[in-house]
C-alpha cells in the first residue's frame, strides 16, 4: 500500500487515526499502531510478514541474552550470531539468485523467491538496534511487542528513513501527542504527498518512456539528457516526498523522526551531496561500517579501501545488479578523487563547482536507473559525444510534450526558496491560515491527479 494511494488516504489512514485517538492508554495506542502496521505490510506481502516477525522475535531473544551476560566474548558472539542471522535472510531473498545465476552461472540452483518489501530497511534497523545495545548506547528492549512496533511501524517500514532505535526508544512509552505536532505532521504529509504526486509521478512518465523502452539505444542524445534530468527529479521528489510523509505521519502519532533530505541538489561537492541525500542511510554506513573498519584513522591505503568497501556495499544495498555495484564504485572513486585533489579544485570554482557536481550526480543517476551497466555507459557516451536536439514529433509520439511546466516546478522545488518564503508568510498575522488554505488546495489537486491518473510508481519499493 502506497501513502499516495486513494486506499491509504481515504480508508486505511482515517481508520487507524480514529482508533488511535479513541483509546486512552499508551499500551492500547501502541497495540493499535502494531496491528495496523502489520496489516499495512500484509497488504502487499501477506505471507512474508511472518518472515519479518520471525526475524524480530529471534533478534529479541538473542539481544536479550547478549545483554544478560557480562562476559565480553559471549556478548560479541551473540552480536555476530545476530548479524549473521539477519544478513542470511537478506542475502537469501535479495542476493542469492544474483550470486548464483549472474556470477556463478548456476542457473539450475536458482530459487523462485520474491523480494520482501522493505527488507533492506528493516534489516538495517534491526542490526543498528543490536549493535547499539552491544555498545551500551541503548538499553535492551524487554517487551517484544514494543520491539516489533519499532521495526514494523508503518510510516517508515517499507521505504525508510532508517530510524535508529535510540531515536524513538523513549517515545515508545513516554511520547505526548499534541495539537501543534499533529498540525505540523499533517502539513508535512501534504507537502510530501505533493512532491510525489504532482512532481515525481509526472517526471516518471518522461524518464520511463526512455529508460523502460524496449529499444532504449535508439534515442537522440537530447532525449537521453531529458530522461536523465527527469529521473534526477523523479527519484528526489519520490523519495524525499515519501520521507516527508513518513516524518509527518510519525509526528501525528507523537514520534519525532530525524530528517532524511536537506536539499541535496544545492550541493557544491560530492561529500556535501551525500551529507544531504538519504541522510539516514549515509549515517548508517558511516557508524556501522566505515568507522568500525577504521575510517580515516588508518594508513592512506586502508582509508581509501574503506571508502571503496562502503560504497560497494551501498551500491549492493540498493539492489542485486551489476549496475548498482558500478554506481557504488562510481561514487566511491569520485569521493576518493575529491578527497585527494578534486575538492580543492572545486572550492576555487564558486558557482561552477555546483554545475560540475550536478553533472556528476546526473550521470550517476543514469548508472543507477539504466537496465544494465552496458546500456548506462552507452547512454553516457552518447550524451557526451555531442548534443542532438529533441524532435518535437518524438515528444508528441511519446505524449510528453504537455509536461514542460512540471520541470519549472521541479527546479524551483529543489531549492529552499519556497520553504523560506512559506515560513515568512506562516509567521505573519494571518499567515497560518493562508498556508493551510494553500495546502488544502494542494491536497485537493493531489487527489484529483490520483483519481484521474493510475500511473503512480514508487522507486524505493524494490529496495
For residue 458, what pLDDT band results from cuts at 50, 70 and 90?
Answer: low
Residue 44 has pLDDT above 80, yes or no: no
Condensed to tens digits (0 to 9), the pLDDT of residues 212-233 reads 888 888 888 888 999 999 999 9
pLDDT at residue 88 greater than cutoff 70 = yes
Per the CB < 8 A criterion, the answer to whether 455 and 201 are in contact is yes
Task: Give the side-chain half-sphere CA count within 13 A for 43.
Answer: 17
Q: Percentage of the chain surpassing pLDDT 90?
A: 68
pLDDT in tens, 261-303: 999 999 999 999 999 999 999 999 999 999 999 999 999 999 9
Contact 146, 29 (CB under 8 A): no
| Predicted TM-score of the model (pTM) | 0.93
Percentage of residues in the chain having pLDDT higher than 70: 96
Most confident of 39-48, 80-89, 413-422: 80-89
pLDDT at 446: 93
Q: Considering only CA atoms, give the Rg of the chain.
A: 23
pLDDT tens across 326-337, in order?
Answer: 999 999 999 999
pLDDT at 238 over 80: yes
Can you give the pLDDT at residue 117? Answer: 85
Per-residue pLDDT of 391-420, as tens digits, reads: 777 776 667 767 788 899 999 999 999 888
Residue 307, pLDDT > 90, answer yes
- The whole-number pLDDT of residue 431 equals 85
- Look at residue 137 and give its three-state secondary structure: coil
> Can you read off the three cell numbers belonging to residue 162?
532508517
pLDDT at 142 over 70: yes
Checking if the pLDDT of 159 tops 90, the result is no
DSSP string, 294-343: TTTSS-HHHHHHHHHHHHHHHHHHH-SSHHHHHHHHHHHHHHHHIIIIIH
pLDDT (0 to 100) of residue 461: 60
Report the pLDDT value the prediction gives residue 463, as an integer from 0 to 100: 59
CA 177 to chain centroid, in Å, comes to 26
**Structure confidence by residue, pLDDT tens digits, 440-450:** 999 999 999 88
Nearby residues of 161 by Cβ (< 8 Å), 6 or more positions away: 243, 246, 247, 257, 258, 260, 278, 279, 280
pLDDT in tens, 340-389: 998 888 888 888 999 999 999 999 999 999 998 889 999 999 999 877 77
Averaged pLDDT, 85-99: 93
Catalytic residue among 70, 256, 278, 318: 318
10 Å CB burial of residue 86 (0-12, 13-18, 19+) is: buried
Question: Does 70 qualify as catalytic in the annotation?
Answer: no
pLDDT tens track for 66-78: 999 888 999 999 9
Q: Mean pLDDT in the chain? A: 91
State the pLDDT confidence band at 163, using cuts at 50, 70 and 90: very high
Helix runs in 45-95, H state only:
49-68, 72-90
pLDDT given at position 235 = 95
Average pLDDT over residues 435-443: 93
Average pLDDT over residues 49-61: 94
Amino acid at each position: 500500500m502506497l501513502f499516495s494511494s486513494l486506499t491509504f488516504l481515504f480508508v486505511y489512514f482515517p481508520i487507524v487515526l480514529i482508533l488511535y485517538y479513541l483509546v486512552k492508554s499508551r499500551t492500547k495506542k501502541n497495540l493499535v499502531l502494531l496491528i495496523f502496521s502489520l496489516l499495512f505490510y500484509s497488504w502487499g506481502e501477506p505471507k512474508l510478514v511472518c518472515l519479518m516477525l520471525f526475524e524480530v522475535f529471534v533478534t529479541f531473544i538473542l539481544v536479550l541474552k547478549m545483554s544478560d551476560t557480562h562476559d565480553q566474548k559471549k556478548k560479541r558472539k551473540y552480536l555476530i550470531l545476530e548479524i549473521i542471522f539477519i544478513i542470511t535472510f537478506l542475502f537469501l531473498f535479495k542476493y542469492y539468485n544474483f550470486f548464483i545465476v549472474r556470477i556463478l552461472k548456476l542457473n539450475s540452483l536458482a530459487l523462485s523467491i520474491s523480494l520482501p518489501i522493505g527488507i533492506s530497511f528493516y534489516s538495517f534497523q534491526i542490526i543498528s538496534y543490536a549493535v547499539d545495545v552491544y555498545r551500551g548506547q541503548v538499553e535492551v528492549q524487554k517487551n517484544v511487542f514494543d520491539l516489533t512496533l519499532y521495526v514494523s511501524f508503518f510510516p517508515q517500514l517499507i521505504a525508510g528513513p532508517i530510524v535508529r532505535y535510540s531515536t524513538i526508544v523513549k517515545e515508545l512509552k513516554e511520547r505526548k501527542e499534541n495539537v501543534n505536532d499533529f498540525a505540523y505532521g499533517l502539513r508535512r504529509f501534504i507537502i510530501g504527498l505533493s512532491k510525489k504526486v504532482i512532481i515525481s509521478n509526472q517526471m516518471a512518465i518522461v524518464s520511463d518512456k526512455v529508460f523502460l523502452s524496449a529499444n532504449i539505444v535508439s534515442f537522440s542524445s537530447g532525449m537521453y539528457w531529458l530522461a536523465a534530468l527527469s529521473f534526477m527529479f523523479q527519484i528526489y521528489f519520490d523519495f524525499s516526498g515519501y520521507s516527508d510523509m513518513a516524518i509527518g505521519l510519525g509526528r501525528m502519532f507523537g514520534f519525532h523522526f530525524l530528517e532524511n533530505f536537506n536539499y541535496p541538489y544545492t550541493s557544491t561537492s560530492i561529500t556535501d551531496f551525500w551529507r544531504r541525500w538519504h541522510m539516514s542511510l549515509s549515517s548508517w554506513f558511516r557508524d556501522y561500517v566505515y568507522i568500525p573498519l577504521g575510517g580515516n584513522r588508518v594508513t592512506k591505503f586502508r582509508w581509501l579501501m574503506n571508502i571503496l568497501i562502503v560504497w560497494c556495499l551501498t551500491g549492493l544495498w540498493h539492489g542485486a545488479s551489476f549496475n548498482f555495484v558500478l554506481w557504488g564504485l562510481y561514487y566511491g572513486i569520485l569521493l576518493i578523487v575529491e578527497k585527494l585533489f578534486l575538492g580543492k579544485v572545486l572550492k576555487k570554482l564558486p558557482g561552477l563547482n555546483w554545475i560540475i557536481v550536478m553533472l556528476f550526480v546526473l550521470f550517476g543517476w543514469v548508472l543507477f536507473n539504466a537496465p544494465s551497466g552496458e546500456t548506462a555507459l552507452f547512454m553516457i557516451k552518447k550524451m557526451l559525444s555531442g548534443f542532438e536536439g529533441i524532435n518535437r514529433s518524438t515528444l508528441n509520439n511519446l505524449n510528453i510534450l504537455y509536461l514542460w511546466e512540471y520541470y519549472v516546478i521541479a527546479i524551483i522545488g529543489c531549492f529552499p526558496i519556497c520553504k523560506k518564503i512559506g515560513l515568512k508568510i506562516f509567521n505573519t498575522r494571518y499567515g497560518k491560515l493562508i498556508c493551510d488554505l494553500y495546502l488544502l488546495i494542494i491536497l485537493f489537486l493531489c487527489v484529483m491527479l490520483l483519481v484521474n491518473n493510475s500511473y503512480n510508481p514508487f522507486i524505493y519499493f524494490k529496495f
